Structure 1
Amino acid sequence: MTSQQAPGSWTNWARNQTADPLRRAAPRDTDELAQTVRRAADDGLHVRAVGAGHSFTGAAVTDGLLLSLDHLQTVEDVTRTETGARVTVGAGIRLHRLNEVLASAGLAMRNLGDIDRQSIAGAISTGTHGTGASLGGLATQVRGVRVVGADGSVTEATPEQDPDLFEASRLGLGSTGVLAAVTLDVVPAFHLRAQEEPWPLDRVLEELSTASGGRGGGSDAEGLENAHDHFEFYWFPHTRRALTKRNDRLGPDDEASASLRTARGERPGAVTRARAWVDEELLSNGAFEVINRLATAVPRATPRINALSARALAPRTYVAPSHEVFVSPRRVRFREMEYAVPRAELVNVLEEIDAWVRASGENVPFPVEVRFAAADDVWLSTAHGRESAYVAVHQYLRLPHERYFEGVEKIVAGVGGRPHWGKLHTLGAEDLAERYPRFEDFRRVRAQADPGGVFANPYTDQVFGPR
C-alpha cells in the first residue's frame, strides 16, 4: 500500500525515547487505518500511534506497528451552536493548524497549552492542559471520538453513545484503540490582554488564594489564580524571582475593536518586535540555549545566571488573538516532569522544592512552571475531582535530570500528586490506582476494548498494569 513506510528507528522530540518497529504506516483515511490495524493484530503485532512525538514518556514506543496519523487532518464538520460550534477533525491534525482553521471560521479553543506542535489526538490522550483556575484541560473540550479497535471496527463514542468507551478514549494513552477523529466543543474567537511582569517569588506566593490565612492553608479568598482568566508563573530556581503571566478576556466593546484591528492585520497594544524577541529568546530559544550551555559548562555560575535572567525580563502588556497569547515557541530541547497537586498544597510544595534545590546543590538553569486548573470529571484527568495546581520541572537535555526529578517527585507524590501522562515519572499502576477514583473503571473498559493487549506497550503496562 502507498501508505506503508519503510521500517526504521523513531525518536521523540526530547530524544530520550526511541523505537525500532517492525512496521510503520501512515494511513490516508479511516478505512485504511482500520485495515492496517486489523492486519497488524492478525499478525500478532502490537500497535501504537504517534503524533508529533512531544511526549517525554514511552507512550508511542512499540516493536510492532507504529502508526503516523499525519494524513488524518481533515476538518470533517463544523456545526454551529448557541455557544460556539462543534467541530470534528481528523485525529492527526496539529494544534497550530487547528488554531488557524478555527480562527478563519471565527472560532477558537476555550483553552490551550503553551505548545502547539502536538496532534490533537496526542494532546488529549496524554492530558495536555493550559492554565485557568476555572477551566479544564483539552480533554474536557472533547465531545466525541472515533475509535478504531484491534479487529478493525470503527466506533463513534460520545457521552450519550457508548459513554464508557468515550470516557476511556478521550484521555487514555490510546489504550482502547486508535483515535481516527475527534469532535471538539469550541467557542467564538476571542482576544486576550496579556500582562507579563517579573515579581518577587514571595509576593506571588502571598497573593495566591492558597496562601490566604497562612501559607498552603487553603481559602476561598480570591487570589491571583482566581482573579484572572489565565494565570501562571515561572520561578527561577536558586533565586526568589518569578515571571508572572496574567491573561484576561476583553470585554465586549474592547473585543469588537480588537477583532476589527486584527482583521486589518494590526495587533492592538502589541509589544515591539525587539521587545518580543528579547523575552521569547531569553526564556525559550536562541539566547536560552546559550544560557543553558553556559550553565552546563560552569555549574557554579547557575545561580547568578538565573538571577540575571530573571532581572533581564521587563514588564510588557499586549492584546492578541487567544491562540497567539497561549502559545510560545519552544526550540531548546529539555526533559520534563509535571505533577498536579491539590491547589491548597502548592505553596508548601514550592517551598520544599526550593529547600531541596538549595540543599542539594543541583544545577537547575530552567525555570519551574506553575499553572492552575479547575476540577473536572474526566476519568484519568490529573484534575479529576479536585482544584489543581501544576508544578512542572525541566532540565536541559545536556544535563542529567534523574536526581533533580527524583527529589521533586518525592515531594509532590507525598501530597497525592498525579503525574502528567506524557511527562517523566516513576509511578506504577498500584500507586496511580490510589490517586484516581475511576481508575478501575478505566481498566475495565480497556480490558473490554482490547482483550488481546494489541495497544499495549511497556509504558502502558507500567501505568495501567500488564494486559
Structure 2
Amino acid sequence: MENHIHSTWARTFECRPRLFYQPKTMDDLVELVHSARSAGASLTVVGSGHSPSDIAMAPTTGWLVNLDRLCAVVSTFPATAQKTTEYSDVRVEAGIRVYQLNAALAFRGLALQNLGSISEQSIAGLISTGTHGSSSFHGPLAQQVVDLTLLTAAGDFRTVSPTTDPDLFKAALLSLGKLGIITHVTLRTIPAFNIHSVQEIIDFDRLLADWRTVWTTKEYVRVWWFPYSRKCVLWRAEKSTLPLSNPRSSFYGTWLGRTLYEAMLWFAVNIFPPSMPAVERFVFSRQYGSTQTYDTPGASVDEAVQGSVEGLNMDCLFKQYVNEWAVPMRDGVEILTQVDKLVSEAASKHDYYVHAPIEVRVSNCSVPPENDIPDSPFAIIRANSGIGAIPGNYCRSLLEYAPRVDYPSPGEPITVDNLTLYINATMYRPFGRDPPIGKWYSEFEAVMAQYGGRPHWAKNFIGPAGALNAKDEAKRKKKDGQMVGIAGVFAEWYGEDGQKFKKIREKLDPDMLFVGGREWAERNGLI
C-alpha cells in the first residue's frame, strides 16, 4: 500500500512511509525482507501504536510492516520443564494481539499469568518494549516467554531460548524492534482464573507510612495517586473462586462523566491552568468519594470478582503523553516525597500543573544468580501458596531498564528490597490539545535519575539535561518536551549488557535494515 499514514494511538507522532505491508504468510515476510534489502530500504515493524513516542516511526523512504495477519495459535503442549502438568506452553505467531490471545487461551481453559494495562498490543510489541503489569510476585511480561523465533536481516529464522543462544535471547526479550522481526513466541500459561479485587481510598501520607508492607499483601497491587487531593486509590487483588460480580459504576465510566472530565481538562490546559487542582479534586470526589476507606472498619469499599483479563486491564481514559521510569522500590518513600514537593511548589508558583492519576506500580524484576534457578523462590511460592509466577525464563534482558535489586533468598519472604517501582507521569491531550510537559517532565526525570532510575524505552521521556550542544538545545526547545535521548549516558547506565546488545545488533544487521527510526536509535545510543 502507498500513501499510508501511521500514527500512535495517542496521536503524538505520525509517519508517511514509502510503502506499507501486511504479509499473510511467513514466506511473504521472508520475501519482504529480501526485497527491502535489495532495494536498500529500511523495515520498521509496527503494531497497535500504543507506544506514544517516535520509536516506531518509519522515514518517508522506508517501508512499514504490520504483522496483524500473522496471528495464529500454532500449538499448545504441556510445560515439560516443570514438575507438574498444570502449566501449558503455547506457541503463537507474534503478530497476534493480546486480546486475541486472551480469547484463544480462554477457549482452551488457559490464561496469561499477568497482564499490562491494556490488551491491544501485539505479542511482539509487548515483549520488545519491556511491558510490565503490577505485582510483587511477577516480573515483566517477557518473563513468561519460553522461547522466540527471530527473522534476521539475512532472511533466516533463528529460534532462541535461555539454553539456545542465550545472549541473543536476552537481547530479543527487549529488542525495541532493532534486531529483526519476531515471528513466533512460546509463552508459559496457567489454567484460566478469576481475581477478587478490593479498591480502597488511602491518604497519601498513610501510603508512605505503610510502604514496606502494602505492596506484598496481595498478588496484584497498583496505586493511582491524585497529588492535589493528597489521596490515592489502592487496588489489590488475588486469585479467587468466588462468584463473579461487577465493580460498582463510576463517574467517568459513563459518557456524560467522561466527556465532562475531558472538557474540564481542556479548560485547564487551554484557558485557566490554575483550575487544574480543583478539577482533580472534583473528579476524585465524584469517582471515588472523599474519605479514607483503607484499614477503616465498616467503610464501604469497591469489590469485584472478574476474569483475569477484565480485572487486570484498566481504562487509560484519554489520548496522552506518558513518561514512566523504573526505580528501586526501597527508595519509594523518598522519591514520592520529592515528587510531591515538586508538584506542590510548581502549583504555588504557577509554573506548571500535572494531570492525575500518577500511576504507581510494582514488579519483581530480580533474577537469580546463574546456576541457581532450581531453588527459585518464585517456584516455591507458587507451589506452596498458589500466588506468583512460574516463569518461562529466569533471564534479565540486556536492555532491561529496571535497576538491579537483590533476588530473594530461598525460603525468605519477598520485601521492597527485591522490587521495582514504576512511576508513570501521564499528561492527557484533551480533545487533541497538547498540554505543556517540558518543565514538569524535566524535573520529574531529575528525581528519578537521582535514585538510579531508568526510563521506559517506549514512552515520552526527555533525557538528561545538558546532553545536547547549544545549537541542538535551541532547536529542541522549539517543541515543548521534545526527546533529547540517553545516548550520552547509555554506556554508563547499561554497561557491558548495553555494549553486548549493540554488538549483537551490528552482527545481525550490519546494513541497519531494521533501524528505520534511525534518529530515535541514535538519540538513545543504540547505534
Given that 2:487 and 2:526 are in contact with CA atoms closer than 8 Å, whether structure 1 keeps it comes out as: yes
- Residue 293 of structure 1 is matched in structure 2 by 266
Cα distance change on mapping 1:360 and 1:277 into 2, 3 Å: closer
Aligned counterpart for 2:77 among listed residues 58, 76, 79: 79
Aligned counterpart for 1:337 among listed residues 300, 323, 337: 323
- Residue 270 of structure 1 is matched in structure 2 by 246
For the residue of structure 2 that corresponds to 1:328, the secondary structure is coil
| C-alpha distance in 1 between matches for 2:503 and 2:256 | 43
TM-aligned CA deviation for residue 342 of structure 1: 0.8
For the residue of structure 2 that corresponds to 1:28, the secondary structure is coil
Equivalent residue runs for 1:311-322 within 5 Å: 311-312=285-286, 313-314=288-289, 315-322=301-308
What is the TM-score with the length of structure 1 in the denominator? 0.88
Cα distance change on mapping 1:91 and 1:76 into 2, 3 Å: same
- Residue 66 of structure 2 is matched in structure 1 by 68
Cα distance change on mapping 1:337 and 1:139 into 2, 3 Å: same
Cα distance change on mapping 1:72 and 1:421 into 2, 3 Å: same
| C-alpha distance in 2 between matches for 1:157 and 1:410 | 37
TM-aligned CA deviation for residue 287 of structure 1: 4.5
- Residue 525 of structure 2 is matched in structure 1 by 464
Correspondence 1:10 to 2:42: no
Equivalent residue runs for 1:185-264 within 5 Å: 185-209=188-212, 223-250=213-240, 255=241, 258=242
Correspondence 1:161 to 2:137: no
TM-aligned CA deviation for residue 142 of structure 1: 1.0
- Residue 362 of structure 2 is matched in structure 1 by 372
- Residue 428 of structure 2 is matched in structure 1 by 396
Given that 1:91 and 1:121 are in contact with CA atoms closer than 8 Å, whether structure 2 keeps it comes out as: yes
For the residue of structure 2 that corresponds to 1:93, the secondary structure is coil
Correspondence 1:355 to 2:341: yes
For the residue of structure 2 that corresponds to 1:405, the secondary structure is helix
TM-aligned CA deviation for residue 156 of structure 1: 1.5
Q: Which blocks of at least 5 consecutive residues in structure 1 are unaligned? A: 210-222, 262-267
TM-aligned CA deviation for residue 170 of structure 1: 2.0
Identity of aligned residues (%): 30
TM-aligned CA deviation for residue 461 of structure 1: 2.2
Correspondence 1:30 to 2:56: no
- Residue 82 of structure 2 is matched in structure 1 by none
- The amino acid that maps onto 2:340 is D
- The amino acid that maps onto 1:459 is W
Given that 1:341 and 1:390 are in contact with CA atoms closer than 8 Å, whether structure 2 keeps it comes out as: yes
Correspondence 1:429 to 2:419: no
- The amino acid that maps onto 1:169 is A
Given that 1:195 and 1:317 are in contact with CA atoms closer than 8 Å, whether structure 2 keeps it comes out as: yes
- Residue 214 of structure 1 is matched in structure 2 by none
Which segment drifts farther, 420-429 or 318-327? 420-429
Per-residue deviation, residues 392-429 of structure 1 (Å, max 9, x unmatched): 00111221222211110111012111111110112423
- The amino acid that maps onto 2:526 is G
| C-alpha distance in 1 between matches for 2:195 and 2:259 | 26
Correspondence 1:181 to 2:184: yes
TM-aligned CA deviation for residue 136 of structure 1: 0.5
Which segment drifts farther, 84-93 or 300-309? 300-309
- Residue 213 of structure 1 is matched in structure 2 by none
Given that 2:403 and 2:453 are in contact with CA atoms closer than 8 Å, whether structure 1 keeps it comes out as: no
TM-aligned CA deviation for residue 317 of structure 1: 0.5
For the residue of structure 1 that corresponds to 2:503, the secondary structure is helix
Per-residue deviation, residues 56-84 of structure 1 (Å, max 9, x unmatched): 12121112111011101111111123241
Per-residue deviation, residues 18-43 of structure 1 (Å, max 9, x unmatched): 21211111111211111101211221
Per-residue deviation, residues 92-128 of structure 1 (Å, max 9, x unmatched): 1111111111111111111111111111111110011
TM-aligned CA deviation for residue 332 of structure 1: 0.9
- Residue 444 of structure 1 is matched in structure 2 by 503
Given that 2:265 and 2:279 are in contact with CA atoms closer than 8 Å, whether structure 1 keeps it comes out as: no
Correspondence 1:89 to 2:92: yes
Per-residue deviation, residues 423-456 of structure 1 (Å, max 9, x unmatched): 0112423423323352222122111111111111
Given that 1:295 and 1:365 are in contact with CA atoms closer than 8 Å, whether structure 2 keeps it comes out as: no
- Residue 413 of structure 2 is matched in structure 1 by none
- The amino acid that maps onto 1:22 is R
- The amino acid that maps onto 1:357 is V
Aligned counterpart for 1:50 among listed residues 25, 41, 46: 46
- Residue 408 of structure 2 is matched in structure 1 by none
- Residue 449 of structure 2 is matched in structure 1 by 413
TM-aligned CA deviation for residue 277 of structure 1: 3.9
For the residue of structure 2 that corresponds to 1:156, the secondary structure is strand
Equivalent residue runs for 1:97-112 within 5 Å: 97-112=100-115
- The amino acid that maps onto 1:462 is R
Cα distance change on mapping 1:382 and 1:286 into 2, 3 Å: farther
- The amino acid that maps onto 2:362 is F
Cα distance change on mapping 1:233 and 1:331 into 2, 3 Å: closer
| C-alpha distance in 2 between matches for 1:52 and 1:284 | 27
| C-alpha distance in 2 between matches for 1:294 and 1:198 | 27
TM-aligned CA deviation for residue 9 of structure 1: 2.5
Cα distance change on mapping 1:225 and 1:279 into 2, 3 Å: farther
| C-alpha distance in 2 between matches for 1:103 and 1:424 | 34
Cα distance change on mapping 1:207 and 1:307 into 2, 3 Å: same
| C-alpha distance in 2 between matches for 1:289 and 1:283 | 10
Given that 1:337 and 1:420 are in contact with CA atoms closer than 8 Å, whether structure 2 keeps it comes out as: yes
Given that 1:225 and 1:231 are in contact with CA atoms closer than 8 Å, whether structure 2 keeps it comes out as: yes
Given that 2:486 and 2:524 are in contact with CA atoms closer than 8 Å, whether structure 1 keeps it comes out as: yes
For the residue of structure 2 that corresponds to 1:238, the secondary structure is coil
Given that 1:127 and 1:420 are in contact with CA atoms closer than 8 Å, whether structure 2 keeps it comes out as: yes
What is the TM-score with the length of structure 2 in the denominator? 0.78
- The amino acid that maps onto 1:443 is K
